[in-house]
Amino acid sequence: MHELPVDAYTSQEWFNLEQEHIFSKTWQFAGLVEDVANAGDYISVQAGLNNIFIVKGKDNRLRAFHNMCRHRGTQLLRAVGKGKKAITCPYHDWTYNLEGKLVSIPKKEEEFPDLCNKELHDCGLNLHEASVDIFKGMLFVHPEKDAPNIMEFFGEVEPYLGPHIPEELIEYQEKKDGAFYTKEINANWKIIVENYIDQYHLAHLHEDTLNMYDHAKAEFGWAGPHYYFFEPLVPEYLADVKNASPYPLMDKMPEDKMGAYVPWLFPNIGITESESAWNTFHAIPLAPDRTLVVIRSKTMNVSEWEYTKQYTKSMSSKVWQNIGNKGKYEGDASDPMASGNFMEEDVYACEQQQKSLSSPLFSVGAQAKNGEFAVRKFQSVVKEWVEKYRDND
């Protein structure tokens, strides 16, 4: 019934296994291409057990290294200098070039006379290389230098994604450098994924919040280790979508493909590609029962005025009188089930499920054949990745 033991959702042991065997061995979401827009720009991201440093060269190519100076291992790398041609660790100023080769050590002759009698870059102290690549406007890193190429990992799911071109959209940010939505959720990361890919709950938990989409017409399945999902708009919304849409409509979306593409890319990044927005949904495990969810949101690159016009039209559209923004139950707004906000509904469901896991009586009674098939499939992929390595250890 359930592919994984309850332990997998509660124990530190499983958390560690996943960190080591899933999050440190797969392509990990690292941001959006514009985060490293210009030559010399750099970021560092935690990817499982590894902290990876990404820097863009003047040749417009991204490089990735393990963010760890080869001297004392400090996680301090940054790109410096005129033209940002060097990577340095400010602790003792050991310096590397953009290929990660060690090029200078202060006081080399006096302090490290016996280090190695070859050129510095042949001393075995170059930065550990990692891999970085781009998929659908998103940056991904992999801790291995010769990682399997990113399209071998995502290629199979690509045809099921939306027609959106994220590079052409602009990010919606309420405050500078702030993601659209950040929340620490008291649930294991897999509970959150399972909620994301569970088609069965859409018509129930989100009865009055996501009913602008036609759940009965949802098409979903599995491609490689990834989940794909599409559902069209309900006819009522579709008929007036030009007015009713809260934001300017995606220009790349033909009418017959109007809807929501909601794939989940293994292991921990979802995309929500709708008629008017394109979001990344990054679930970062913090502890067995805690997960940080970061959502970044992009919309059409048009003027403020276009947004104002669209908002005005949307507010006066009759569509929203009947659908979209009511809570499942009436009540105090502090009750997630009365909030009229589907994210609050989901967070609530996830946290309440996590609570039950410690009950001695907990079990999954049954699983929906179609609507929850993806949940089971996801669990089996997790199991496969962990067991593949555990048996060999």
- Binding residues for other proteins, rule: CB under 8 A, are 57-62, 85, 97-99, 132-134, 149-152, 155
Residue closer to other proteins by CB (options 99, 236) is 99
Residue closer to other proteins by CB (options 106, 155) is 155
Smallest distance from other proteins to CB 85, Å: 6
Classified as helix, coil or strand, 40 is: coil
Residue closer to other proteins by CB (options 132, 193) is 132
Q: Which candidate, 160, 345, 318, places its Cα nearest to that of 244?
A: 318
Smallest distance from other proteins to CB 165, Å: 12
Q: Which candidate, 101, 93, 145, 106, places its Cα nearest to that of 123?
A: 101
Residue closer to other proteins by CB (options 58, 72) is 58
- What is the C-alpha separation between 323 and 360, in angstroms, rounded? 40
Smallest distance from other proteins to CB 98, Å: 5
Residue closer to other proteins by CB (options 128, 377) is 128
Give the CA distances from residue 94 to residues 113, 164, 306, in Å, rounded to whole numbers and listed in that order.
Answer: 16, 43, 51
User: Distance of alpha carbon 259 from its chain centroid, rounded?
Assistant: 21
Smallest distance from other proteins to CB 152, Å: 6
Smallest distance from other proteins to CB 101, Å: 9
Backbone angles phi, psi at 180, to 5 degrees: -60, -40
Smallest distance from other proteins to CB 83, Å: 9
Decide: 70 and 126 in contact? Cβ < 8 Å.
yes
Smallest distance from other proteins to CB 148, Å: 9
Long-range contacts of 98-106 (CB under 8 A, 24+ apart): 98/55, 98/57, 98/63, 99/63, 99/126, 100/63, 100/65, 100/126, 100/127, 100/128, 100/129, 101/126, 101/127, 102/70, 102/126, 102/127, 105/71
Query: Taking the chain, what is the end-to-end CA distance rounded to the nearest angstrom?
Result: 27
Residue closer to other proteins by CB (options 151, 170) is 151
Which residues, including other chains, have CB under 8 Å from residue 251's CB and lie 6 or more apart?
300
- Dihedral of CA 123/71/142/87: which sign? negative
What tokens does 54 get? 């990404």
Smallest distance from other proteins to CB 149, Å: 4
Decide: 260 and 231 in contact? Cβ < 8 Å.
yes
Smallest distance from other proteins to CB 119, Å: 14
- What is the C-alpha separation between 296 and 55, in angstroms, rounded? 21
Residue closer to other proteins by CB (options 132, 238) is 132
Residue closer to other proteins by CB (options 134, 292) is 134
Decide: 199 and 215 in contact? Cβ < 8 Å.
yes
> What is the chain's alpha carbon radius of gyration, rounded to the nearest angstrom?
24
Residue closer to other proteins by CB (options 30, 319) is 30
